Structure 1
Amino acid sequence: MGSVNMPVSKLDLWIFWAGAVIYGLVVLAARIGAMRAGQSASARSSRSIVGIALQILGIFLAGAGAVHGGLPNAAPRSIAAGVVIAALLLNAAALFHWSAETMGKNWSLVARTREDHELVTSGPFAYVRHPIYVSMLMFLFALAVATGHALHLLWAVPVFAAGTAIRIAEEEKLLRAAFGAAFDDYVGRTGALLPKRSVAFRAHHR
């Protein structure tokens, strides 16, 4: 497996770690904000923890294994990879922050609804129902590029997708129980991870 990994530069690794720190700080800030808001859960799904574990495993698999250095920092492929890594991580951090800020007290790590839960349909949620998982997938791809492990995506992405599917199913089950027809209407006009064509078309022509 190691022989098919692409060589990477120190520059690309430094770009990744700088972006990873930014992403981690954004996640930490969201977590602290959620803790300050209090839990007060009226319904919770412990099965979503399985989904979280699979997502983490998928991200780990994207970067696991030996990293082959030696690519010059000024090499065109190093510069191109650095641009891709930086773009993925900065957009991932921005999307996570936007999503967490929009959700406010409704955001939590484990799937749950609060006693005063709101159905959030603004901000990034006007386009997709689970933008935070999109940001996590961006992080996974950035890790694979930074470590030269593009081939690892063949198994990392399916594992991550399985975990995401579990979390989406559990979260949407709780939201449907809490909001009924209003949530079904929201599902009808948005995609889970990608915008529906009609939503994207309206956003482009505003």
Structure 2
Amino acid sequence: MNLTLASLGEILWVLGIVAWTVIRYPFERRARRVRVVDNRRSPSDMCGLVMAVLGMAVIPFVYLATDWPAAADYPARAWAVGAGALLFFGAVWLFRRTHKELGKNWSISLEIRDKHQLVSGGPYALIRHPMYTSFLLMALGQAFLLSNWIAGLAGLVGFAFLFFLRVDKEERMMMDSFGPTYRDYMDRTKRLIPYLY
């Protein structure tokens, strides 16, 4: 088998998505058993989720399965595949850490669960939304691993929709639930990138 750099990038991307799915699955199962006490799902929230799934999963999978749109391909570079692998590995590691810290508080959408607690340990000690940070790292990794302008960059577009349609609403929900405690937490942390934003 003649493994090209482009093929290696694609394989690494698929392995990252498989790891992401394996990490998330048990938390989705457990979350179904914990009662939701405040549900803030909205059409814009669902739009953000759909756009994220399209950009970070559907479009890349279509590209890998059909090679469409091949006209947007460009030559893979070793440094890009290496950078993409590091970014994706970092994303999966952070994704796992966020799930572990959240435990029963985790939700796929804007929900407060029964006996919900404010999590401020682990990666949450530095940033309020480390799961979004992991998505950003995944999207950047995808851009380097998939040597196609559309499939590669679709993840960043999907991430942008998810982040900008949800993060303000999520923080409002947390303020409503935890009041001054969450305000204090906001004062000592950044949103997405430690020490910067």
Which TM-score applies when normalising by structure 1?
0.77
Q: Tell me the equivalent position of 2:36.
A: 41
Tell me how far apart the structure 1 counterparts of residues 151 and 8 of structure 2 sit (CA, whole Å).
Answer: 21
Contact 2:69 2:150 in 1 (8 A): no
SS in structure 1 at match of 2:127: coil
Identity within the alignment, % = 26
Counterpart of 1:39, as a letter, is: V
Larger radius of gyration: 1
Q: Tell me the equivalent position of 1:119.
A: 118
Which whole-Å deviations, capped at 9, do the CAs of 1:5-28 have from their partners, x for residues lacking one?
xx9522222222222211221122
Which whole-Å deviations, capped at 9, do the CAs of 1:72-92 have from their partners, x for residues lacking one?
xxxxx23x2332222122111
Q: Tell me the equivalent position of 1:180.
A: 179
Contact 1:8 1:148 in 2 (8 A): no
| Structure 1 residue ranges (4+ consecutive) displaced by more than 4 angstroms after TM superposition | 67-71, 150-156
Q: Tell me the equivalent position of 1:3.
A: none
Tell me how far apart the structure 2 counterparts of residues 191 and 178 of structure 1 sit (CA, whole Å).
Answer: 19
Q: Tell me the equivalent position of 2:163.
A: 164
Which whole-Å deviations, capped at 9, do the CAs of 1:96-118 have from their partners, x for residues lacking one?
11001101100000111123110
Which whole-Å deviations, capped at 9, do the CAs of 1:123-150 have from their partners, x for residues lacking one?
1101111111111122222222222135
1:58 deviates by 3.5
Counterpart of 1:99, as a letter, is: T
Contact 1:34 1:108 in 2 (8 A): yes
Tell me how far apart the structure 1 counterparts of residues 75 and 195 of structure 2 sit (CA, whole Å).
Answer: 43
Counterpart of 1:165, as a letter, is: F
2:17 to 12, 17, 20: 20
* Unaligned ranges ≥5, structure 2: none
1:66 to 58, 66, 69: 69
Tell me how far apart the structure 2 counterparts of residues 174 and 8 of structure 1 sit (CA, whole Å).
Answer: 44
Contact 1:189 1:196 in 2 (8 A): no
Give the 3 Å change call, closer, same or farther, for CA 82–157 of structure 1 in structure 2: closer
Which whole-Å deviations, capped at 9, do the CAs of 1:157-176 have from their partners, x for residues lacking one?
35522321222122212111
Contact 1:9 1:69 in 2 (8 A): no
Give the 3 Å change call, closer, same or farther, for CA 176–188 of structure 1 in structure 2: same
Q: Tell me the equivalent position of 1:138.
A: 137
1:39 deviates by 3.0
Tell me how far apart the structure 2 counterparts of residues 158 and 20 of structure 1 sit (CA, whole Å).
Answer: 17
Tell me how far apart the structure 2 counterparts of residues 42 and 148 of structure 1 sit (CA, whole Å).
Answer: 44
Tell me how far apart the structure 1 counterparts of residues 189 and 181 of structure 2 sit (CA, whole Å).
Answer: 13
1:186 deviates by 0.7
1:29 deviates by 2.9
Deviates more, 1:59-68 or 1:100-109: 59-68
Contact 2:84 2:143 in 1 (8 A): no
Which TM-score applies when normalising by structure 2?
0.80
Contact 1:128 1:191 in 2 (8 A): yes
